[in-house]
Structure 1
Amino acid sequence: MSKLTSMVFSVVAVSVLSACSSHYSENEHIKQPKNVPIEWQSDFKAALTESTERSQSLSILSNQQLRDFLVYALETNFNLKQEFLSLQQKRQALTVANSALWPSIEAGLSARRTKAEEGSIGNKFEAGLDIRYELDLWQKLSDAEQQAQLAYLAAEASFEQAKQTLIANVITAWFDVIESNRLLELAKQRVELTKQSLDIIERGYQQGLNEALDVYLARNDFNTEVSRLSQQKATQQTAIRALQRLSSDYPTGQFELDSELPSYQLESLSVVPSDLVENKPSLQASWYELMAQNANLAFVHKKRYPSFVITGSIGDEGQKLRDLFDGSGLVWSLLGNLTAPIFNAGQLKANEETARLQLKQAEQRYLDNLYQSFETVENRITDAVSLEQRYRAILDAKYNAQMAAELSFGQYQSGLVTYTTVLNAQARAFDAETSAVQLHKQLLVNHVQLQLALGKTPQFNQQNELAVNSQLQPQLQKDEE
């Protein structure tokens, strides 16, 4: 063996040893946090025992109009289509990464026409096949393929999370429209009631039974309610437009929705914190992204190792096209190429350190998402308990305020109280009714958001889920084509 050959092998060996001596270890696996509690910390069971029995709880998706709208939104929503197209991009990236594990073959055909010095003109045709294949000695290409696979799984989980979020947003927007419709009805009733009261007061004033102050107060109350009615009409249209945008329809502000808020009562939780870690799509996406960064670190580290590439070619040439591959000019070659990085001014080392830092960053991002998910669930549980207690109290307040309003107006007609007392009683009754509607909707929305935070599609049973998915996938693929 010559001195030059010995020197080359020595340099390659030093390169391999230096790469292997890096502090990277494939045995270092990211683990789930160990301090995840067994049960939720918020006191939910106590609230269940205190919950009063009202009408039987209805399924949120028992309304056929809502279910049809959900299917339509899942087929047409712009953001969900973006997530689907992103998923398809990751699938193509996976195909690209997987192709590196296979040989690449290229075919070539060329034609050349030349003129010699003596004036003769000749033709030359060349055709051949070139083959290139890199041996995956260090599992480097496998790591790249694994990274692409994990990135695809992360995109798949993100797409599932986007579906669940869209379902929750549609249901929430649906409740907003129902609430705005109900509050609009109350505002109209309030205007009609104050108009009747104003007529009574003005007739009494003309007959000398009431004072001018009562007239002014009644007029002020009527004008206030007219203004509130106008504001509620705008709120209703805004809620409808928000719902229409979720289905990618033009936000006209016009939508016929004939339904009431479903009844609600607290339900026990079947998901514990450890289930959340395994089942919530957004956490799964963060975990797969973390694992993808881990695979990327392995790939970048192994780029410092030598690469062994086998290349081969077979070709033929002739003066006529039909002479190609007749065996007369057939040539072939086979070459093994071993290359190793020797000096690159620290570029490969810096790339590895960057990948390591990105892995640490992904780990912290996953932990932040995890504990943020815990926080969201705990807050939703706390809100559920608080809203339940407030709703029970406001129902009692609503009943008392309505009775007080009726009594005060009767006493006013009998001359026992002033009209100011009537206005105050009516305002309290209206506010109690409004609060009851608002709290009812907040209870339902909090329930939907709690299910979303737990990684569950809100009140979507298996049959409905399959029906939606079967219609969604072909539609998105058709749009892609």
Structure 2
Amino acid sequence: MREYQTGINRDENRDRFKITDQSDNTVRNRRHEGKMKILLKRASILIVLLIFSGCSVHSPLIKGQEVDLPDSYSSEKPVSSPPVGRWWEWLGDEKLNALMEEALQNNLDIAQAYERLQQSLAIVRTTNSARGPVLNIEGSGGRARKSGVTAETYTLSAATSFEIDLWNKLGSRTRAARLDALASEEDLRSLYISISAQVADLYFLAIEHRAQIELSDNTIKSYRDTLKKVESRYRHGLVPAIDLYQSRQNLSSARAQLPVFEQNLATTLNALSVLTGRFPDNEIGGNANELIDTPEFPAGIPSELLTKRPDIRSAWLRLNATDERIGAAIANRFPSFNLVGTYGGASTKVRNILDSPNILWNILLQAVQPVIDSGRRSAEVERTRAVFREKLAAYHKTVLNAFKEVEDSLIKNRSSEKRISMLKENMAASENSLRIALDRYIQGLTDYLPVLTGQLHNFTAKSRLLAAKRQLISDRIELARALGGEWTDEIMKEYLTDKKGSTYEH
């Protein structure tokens, strides 16, 4: 270099200096070519890493549906059923339809489940963000004294990093989070089905309580009429005092039943109000007091439960999410590769930070291979495998419970129908027995005991028949709930759109 600088000022050595200058250019070219080869090699390595990025080190443990269901239910023929849809509309009760819409829009349990779904979606975005690059702007400035010299230093730089997902670790975590979010959506669907069943059940329970109150009122009136007849016969000396006291006892017993039914009606309406998001309201649900005949819903075949029951779909999704986490835990034992880069400048003056002589930059490929972690990563793999086995057992149990619930509902429907038929016969017999006993008592052919017994039996028979009719409706509702359904898709879309103005893609 000194010769080159010196030669610039000497004419007599100009030719020799030209040769030296050409040699320096040749060296520079060779160095440049060497650097280019190194850069090409590094670029080739990066390209290979990116091409093979996402290679999984874990084979999925789930190959298909893990449960073989029977071909039919024990009490049903194996016939596929049409979609039930909004089953409560089959009942033809407009007040129930309006109450159901209110509950599905304003129920606070549904609102909480919706927010849990939003949390799951946020977790998906958080987890997926690890697969993208990170860019930070860093800056500093200040004055320092060193070796007796005081100077100002200012820096400004952009730092970026990107993890190459060579073993599909980040991809597995993202898929697991996405499957969890889908499971949360199925949980919300399950809650819709559950809330709809609760609303309908409480609605008809309130109707039963009103019918029981009406029955009690009519019974009290009947007992009063009987008491007047007994008092008249007692005043004429036709019957002993025991008949009068027994008649009054019967009337008092009937009156004592009334507050119980009124209390049950009030608590039922309070529960129904809370389901619709209201404060307790004793006017909710109208004033109907007659139980209707409800149709039976077709049960279909057991295999349809796998697609119609959201709780089964939720358990299946969580099982798959656990399988993905096994892959992430295994991949975490392999080397990780990160691309790290920095570009910026440093200067004693702020305005000169990004001038060409002050520019600083670097591009690095970092590789980290776990060597000793005291068995932490291996233990995590075993833990996730144990969680998978737990979720697999939970999935099997969910399917079995769903099958059991449908079977139980079918049996209850048959039993309630038979019981109602028998109770109707019992009520007719008790009415005839009471009528004959009362006629014979008025004619003086018998004492008051057959009348007393007949009145009690008749009231009990009518009350039990009302309860049985309501129980049959409850069994119908339980069957609709157990069968699941796809009617939640539309209302889910409406709810998600109304709440946030947008939905998310699966």
**Match of 1:79?**
109
* 2:205 counterpart of 1:176: yes
In the TM superposition, residue 383 of structure 1 has moved relative to its aligned partner by 0.7
Summarize the alignment of residues 275-290 of structure 1 with structure 2, pairs less than 5 Å apart.
275-290=304-319
**Match of 1:62?**
92
**Match of 1:36?**
69
- Aligned counterparts of 1:470 and 1:228: Cα–Cα separation in 2: 47
- Using CA pairs below 8 Å that are at least 6 residues apart, which structure has the higher relative contact order? 1
Summarize the alignment of residues 428-447 of structure 1 with structure 2, pairs less than 5 Å apart.
428-447=457-476
**Match of 1:106?**
136
- Aligned counterparts of 1:381 and 1:218: Cα–Cα separation in 2: 44
- Aligned counterparts of 1:420 and 1:33: Cα–Cα separation in 2: 65
**Match of 2:170?**
141
One-letter amino acid of the structure 1 residue matched with residue 495 of structure 2: L
One-letter amino acid of the structure 1 residue matched with residue 305 of structure 2: L
* 2:331 counterpart of 1:302: yes
Which has the larger displacement, 214-223 or 418-427? 418-427
One-letter amino acid of the structure 1 residue matched with residue 116 of structure 2: S
**Match of 2:7?**
none
In the TM superposition, residue 99 of structure 1 has moved relative to its aligned partner by 1.2
Summarize the alignment of residues 293-442 of structure 1 with structure 2, pairs less than 5 Å apart.
293-442=322-471
- Aligned counterparts of 2:149 and 2:382: Cα–Cα separation in 1: 63
3-state SS, counterpart of residue 328 of structure 1:
helix
3-state SS, counterpart of residue 365 of structure 2:
strand
* 2:500 counterpart of 1:454: no
**Match of 1:224?**
253
Answer whether contact 1:129 1:315 (CA < 8 A) is retained: yes
Summarize the alignment of residues 105-254 of structure 1 with structure 2, pairs less than 5 Å apart.
105-115=135-145, 120=150, 122-254=151-283
- Aligned counterparts of 1:425 and 1:445: Cα–Cα separation in 2: 30
**Match of 1:273?**
302
RMSD: 2.3
Gaps of 5+ in 2: 1-56, 79-86, 502-506
**Match of 2:22?**
none
**Match of 2:124?**
94
Extract structure 1 runs of 4+ deviating beyond 4 A. 57-61, 115-120, 468-471
Deviation string, structure 1 residues 209-241 (Cα, Å, up to 9, x no partner): 221111111111111111111111111111111
One-letter amino acid of the structure 2 residue matched with residue 249 of structure 1: R
Answer whether contact 1:184 1:236 (CA < 8 A) is retained: no
- Aligned counterparts of 1:59 and 1:429: Cα–Cα separation in 2: 35
3-state SS, counterpart of residue 484 of structure 2:
coil
**Match of 1:6?**
none
Deviation string, structure 1 residues 88-121 (Cα, Å, up to 9, x no partner): 011011111211211111112222233567685x
* 2:55 counterpart of 1:26: no
Answer whether contact 2:75 2:410 (CA < 8 A) is retained: yes
Gaps of 5+ in 1: 1-23, 46-56
3-state SS, counterpart of residue 183 of structure 1:
helix
Q: TM-score, normalised by structure 2?
A: 0.81
**Match of 1:19?**
none
Deviation string, structure 1 residues 293-337 (Cα, Å, up to 9, x no partner): 111111101100111111111111233433332333111100101
- Aligned counterparts of 1:44 and 1:415: Cα–Cα separation in 2: 59
One-letter amino acid of the structure 1 residue matched with residue 332 of structure 2: K
One-letter amino acid of the structure 2 residue matched with residue 398 of structure 1: M
Q: TM-score, normalised by structure 1?
A: 0.85
3-state SS, counterpart of residue 346 of structure 2:
strand
In the TM superposition, residue 396 of structure 1 has moved relative to its aligned partner by 2.3
Give the total of aligned pairs.
Answer: 436
Change (3 A) 1:346 1:324: same
Change (3 A) 1:335 1:138: same
One-letter amino acid of the structure 2 residue matched with residue 127 of structure 1: L
One-letter amino acid of the structure 2 residue matched with residue 330 of structure 1: I
